[in-house]
Amino acid sequence: MAELTPEDQQILCTQAIDEGEPGTVLRDFETLLAFIGDNTPTVSPKHHLLPMGSLAPLNTQMTHPIQLGLKRPQQRAYAYLHALYLLLRATGLTSLTGDGNTPRLALDDDGLASWRGLNPTERYFTLVETWLLRARSEIIGEHMSPFRSPIADWDGFFRRIPTGGLRIAGDKREAERLVYVPGHLTMAMLDLFGFVTIQHGTPEAGQGWRIVEIRRRPWGDALLHLVSEALQSVDFLVRLDTEGEREFGNLQALIQPYFPAWQGNLRLSAHAFQDGTYLFNVSLGRVWRRIAVQGRHDFDKLSAGILDAFAFDDDHLYTFSYPSRFGTLTSIHHPALDEPPLSSEVRIGDVPLRPGASITYLYDFGDRWAFDVRLERIDPVDRAMRKARLLESHGEAPVQYPGADDWEA
């Protein structure tokens, strides 16, 4: 791990930050914000990706549009746009509206107002921090090894780039390697933040992004040397694990001595408790039950209602999992697991659910019964309801312990 040099410190102290320097991330991020604000686009049901019809027009508005030889390129093919979309979702500046089949992406008014109040330096480092600490690949449906991280990919890739640059054109092996390590998404991030310079190549039929050469920039080396030791330390990661998504500014103390303009941080509005009668459609395959539960009831009561509706016993552990406002998977655990948040301490109305949203209820870690719990609507409060209520049944519930009678015999 390289140490910060006097040359690095000089670069950090003299680097200007605006819409075009050291990279174009602020300019291109504003382009994406404007598109979401003007259109409130319908996004894909599972990973909430942008509509395919919008990708090519948006790509042309990027500072560095990618030319492709693909007939129907998906979002990931437009690496810069894909990277910017990951940053946007991971900041929490968007919210989902609409139902489960046709969700729409909208800007969060409070979050956007806070973003507009930040200066260019604060915005730039908010996005750097978002990438390094919050932008998990699961948000956009990508899968990454748990042993990899943005900072490790950045560091490892820089070690591969010679002083004179990494030549890709004509090197099929290197071109194929880049697709996986560090991946086109990471390379786009590095270019957007101004850490590298990428020379684009001419598209070829049936091929994606073509790269001629990649060069490290001194700014990328300097900032990497500043943050890498902290980001790979155990103490920092432990603190981040407990405070991570609640507040921005985890890197401020480290970076602010070189960039005193970083004074403020992005602030997001907290979810307000929403009471009411929550109507859930709970299904196992084609078998389903409609269950009502009050927003003031905790998730342990919802668990009991589901098990009663399917005639299951309650002798096993469970977790509820749902996507957070950032698109990451959040879990609520059985009280006996001693791993907060606990289902006995989280009320239904504490979780930002919208009609059409689904929760996965995983019951019995041995047999792994995975129930889909979809919120249909929220009706007025029923003060007389003391526990979850079964409203409707469809299909015969599966046998919880197949073959149990034979085993007892």
Do 52 and 136 share a domain, yes or no? yes
Query: Mean per-residue pLDDT for 367-383?
Result: 96
Residues 6+ apart with CB under 8 A from 219: 11, 15, 22, 194, 195
Q: What pLDDT digit, counting tens, does each position of 166-193 carry?
A: 999 988 899 999 988 999 999 999 999 9
Confidence class for position 226, pLDDT limits 50, 70, 90: very high
Query: Would you state the pLDDT for residue 239?
Result: 54
Q: Check whether 155 has a pLDDT greater than 70.
A: yes
Q: Which of 140-144, 198-202, 247-251 has the lowest mean pLDDT?
A: 140-144
Is 271 part of any domain? Answer: no
Hey, is 246 helix, strand or coil? coil
Do 106 and 71 share a domain, yes or no? yes
Closest CA to 68 of 85, 81, 86, 87: 81
Query: Mean per-residue pLDDT for 371-378?
Result: 96
Query: Would you state the pLDDT for residue 138?
Result: 87
Do 19 and 102 share a domain, yes or no? yes
> In the sheet where 196-200 sits, what is the strand order?
166-167, 211-216, 196-200
Query: Would you state the pLDDT for residue 244?
Result: 47
Q: How does 55-84 read in b/e, with b if 16+ C-beta sit within 10 Å? A: beebbeebeeebebeeeebebbbbbbbbbb
Do 161 and 285 share a domain, yes or no? no
Is 266 part of any domain? Answer: no
Do 360 and 216 share a domain, yes or no? no
Query: Mean per-residue pLDDT for 217-236?
Result: 85
Number of domains making up the chain: 2
Is 387 part of any domain? Answer: yes
Residues 6+ apart with CB under 8 A from 402: none
Do 190 and 281 share a domain, yes or no? no
Query: Mean per-residue pLDDT for 197-206?
Result: 93
Domain housing 306:
277-408
Is 137 part of any domain? Answer: yes
Q: Check whether 344 has a pLDDT greater than 60.
A: yes
Q: How does 358-371 read in b/e, with b if 16+ C-beta sit within 10 Å? A: bbebebbeeeebeb
> Could you tell me the pTM of the whole model?
0.89
Q: Check whether 241 has a pLDDT greater than 60.
A: no
Residues 6+ apart with CB under 8 A from 300: 334, 335, 343, 344
Percentage of the chain surpassing pLDDT 70? 93
How far apart, in Å, are the Cα atoms of 66 and each of 26, 178, 216? Answer: 18, 16, 20
Do 231 and 376 share a domain, yes or no? no
Do 244 and 283 share a domain, yes or no? no
Please state, in angstroms and rounded to a whole number, the distance separating the CA atoms of residues 228 and 221.
10
Indicate the average pLDDT of the chain: 91
What DSSP designation does 272 have?
P
Do 282 and 248 share a domain, yes or no? no
Do 136 and 282 share a domain, yes or no? no
Is 369 part of any domain? Answer: yes
Is 261 part of any domain? Answer: no
Query: Residue 302 sits in a domain of what CATH number?
Result: 3.10.290.30
Confidence class for position 144, pLDDT limits 50, 70, 90: low
Q: Check whether 257 has a pLDDT greater than 60.
A: yes
Q: Check whether 57 has a pLDDT greater than 60.
A: yes
Q: How does 138-170 read in b/e, with b if 16+ C-beta sit within 10 Å? A: ebbeeeeeeeebbbebbbebbeebeeeebebee
Q: What pLDDT digit, counting tens, does each position of 296-305 carry?
A: 999 999 999 9
Q: Check whether 362 has a pLDDT greater than 60.
A: yes
Do 304 and 388 touch, CB atoms closer than 8 A?
Answer: yes
Is 326 part of any domain? Answer: yes
325 beta partners:
none
Hey, what are 283's tokens?
A: 């299904």
Q: What pLDDT digit, counting tens, does each position of 271-310 carry?
A: 889 999 999 999 999 999 999 999 999 999 999 999 999 9
Closest CA to 123 of 30, 58, 227: 30
Do 235 and 287 share a domain, yes or no? no
